[in-house]
Structure 1
Amino acid sequence: MNESKSPSPQHPKAPRYAILVAGGSGTRMGAGRPKQFLELLGEPVLLHTLRRFAEAALRVQEVIVVLPADQFATWEQLRTDFRVTIPHRIVAGGDSRWASVRNGLAALGTPEGIVAVHDGVRPLASQEIIERAYAAAETYKAVVVAVTPKDSVRNLAQRGSYALNRSRLRLVQTPQCFDLDLLRRAYQLPELPTFTDDASVVEDLCPIHIVEGDYRNLKITTPEDLIVAEALLRSMQ
């Protein structure tokens, strides 16, 4: 994997699209409702995420939100309650994240461009991070944002464990940005259990380039994540 800190072209030529994958059930949150619909400073998490890609400076032409079909009515009600006017399309997800992204790709009729795939419950991705990923994808075709682990990391072995070189490891975040044709070709291949994110789907077809992420770009998975996200969001306002 290659790695860089600075974005590529500042004036993008390729059209930009985004697929927000929000298929979580919220089991680990213990909140009784999907985590993408939980309130973060008084608004649904998914609305915060959607707003990140609606920034005019990013020039995103279309946003696809992938949700389980049985959550459509809930989101429609939230859109009404919170007067959501940000343009986006809703697409039904599949039985896995892989299937959900594939459904999102199928909904994009455009033949070319750069597409960002982003976790619907990662609401703190900054405009800078998103721009950095889109811009780098114009050059490298397959880009992830990632950060260096802060803690020591050990690998489990049959007998005990051993330390890994933290400087050579990265914690992968989203958005992950790809040439649209490349991502479509990758998703024509059968699903494998080794697919943990979109980069793992693409990496047999193209090297994955890394750009510097942000520790604040957290994924809301457990109750403490929501507390941290609220504190961070207040500091960013």
Structure 2
Amino acid sequence: MKYYAIIVGGGSGSRMQSETPKQFMLLNGKPILMHTIEAFYYSDLKPEIILVLNIDYHIFWENLCIKYKFSVPHTLVKGGLQRFNSVKNGINLIKGKAIIAIHDAVRPLPSNKLITRSFIAAEATGNAIAALKSKDSVRQQNGNLSKSLNRDQIYLVQTPQTFKSEILSKAYKQDYRNEFTDDASVVERMGISINIIEGESQNIKITFPEDILLAEFLLNRNK
């Protein structure tokens, strides 16, 4: 079986209070995106890597690769208007049966264990979505009213989200809908049940400036 990782990098730097898109900001001396790609490339199953970026940043990325002597093999693909379209562009490059993991460019710390479990679980069941059970009490707001939800039934979804290629390809032939917030929601729309696997607390998504500090701490601790 062939394995692929589609790394989706479409974020901006707005919530980081920076003009630089988050995936290009430095983490331990090199761009976050490079850490993310390396996590998959050096994992046990060594998936082929497809990187989806806004076309405006292709040359910028290529120059970063030269500057930081980054030589991990990957295929660079043009991003779309929505994340949905970006993922679809990546999927369209893959021919034949495979297991495909979709991962956020700004989640640089997935462990080898999580990546491997994702591929193996998806190969066995059709899909595998990394998620963490909520540790906090949660409430649902509806207008001016809110109600408590059972936190034991609430999961915080992460990436990778991993699928058999035939499922993913069919799902992404659908027209885009606003409710498609991640790949699981696209696949679920076809009536396919989603399988959750345990995610990791260290598999953080870098969104705010303080997330960089936490990622540096976790990265150095892991080393």
Match 1:57 to one of 44, 58, 64:
44
The residue number in structure 2 matching 1:118 is 103
State whether residues 43 and 112 of structure 2, in contact with CA within 8 Å, keep that contact through their aligned partners in structure 1: no
The alpha-carbon deviation at position 229 of structure 1 amounts to 0.8
The alpha-carbon deviation at position 103 of structure 1 amounts to 0.6
Structure 2 length normalisation: TM-score? 0.97
Match 1:33 to one of 20, 24, 28:
20
Superposed, 1:103-114 pairs within 5 Å as 103-108=89-94, 110-114=95-99
Greater shift, 154-163 or 136-145, is seen at: 154-163
State whether residues 112 and 179 of structure 1, in contact with CA within 8 Å, keep that contact through their aligned partners in structure 2: yes
* CA–CA distance in structure 2, aligned partners of residues 56 and 32 of structure 1: 32
Superposed, 1:121-132 pairs within 5 Å as 121-132=106-117
Q: How many residues align?
A: 222
* CA–CA distance in structure 2, aligned partners of residues 56 and 164 of structure 1: 37
Letter of the structure 2 residue corresponding to residue 63 of structure 1? I
The residue number in structure 2 matching 1:89 is 75
Match 1:184 to one of 147, 169, 184:
169
The residue number in structure 2 matching 1:15 is 2
1:44-70, Cα deviation, whole Å (9 max, x unpaired): 00000000011152231x210000000
The alpha-carbon deviation at position 25 of structure 1 amounts to 1.4
Unaligned runs of 5+ in 2: none
* CA–CA distance in structure 2, aligned partners of residues 56 and 143 of structure 1: 17
The residue number in structure 2 matching 1:195 is 180
- What percentage of aligned pairs have identical amino acids? 44
Structure 1 length normalisation: TM-score? 0.91
Of structures 1 and 2, the one with the larger relative CO (CA 8 A, separation 6+) is 1
State whether residues 147 and 171 of structure 1, in contact with CA within 8 Å, keep that contact through their aligned partners in structure 2: yes
Greater shift, 202-211 or 62-71, is seen at: 202-211
The alpha-carbon deviation at position 93 of structure 1 amounts to 0.2
Letter of the structure 1 residue corresponding to residue 182 of structure 2? D
* CA–CA distance in structure 1, aligned partners of residues 167 and 145 of structure 2: 41
Letter of the structure 1 residue corresponding to residue 50 of structure 2? I
State whether residues 52 and 78 of structure 2, in contact with CA within 8 Å, keep that contact through their aligned partners in structure 1: yes
The residue number in structure 2 matching 1:150 is 135
Look up the SS of the partner of 1:133 in the other structure: helix
* CA–CA distance in structure 1, aligned partners of residues 176 and 157 of structure 2: 20
RMSD: 1.0
Question: 4+ residue stretches of structure 1 with deviation over 4 A?
Answer: none
Look up the SS of the partner of 2:130 in the other structure: strand
1:96-115, Cα deviation, whole Å (9 max, x unpaired): 1001000111122x211100
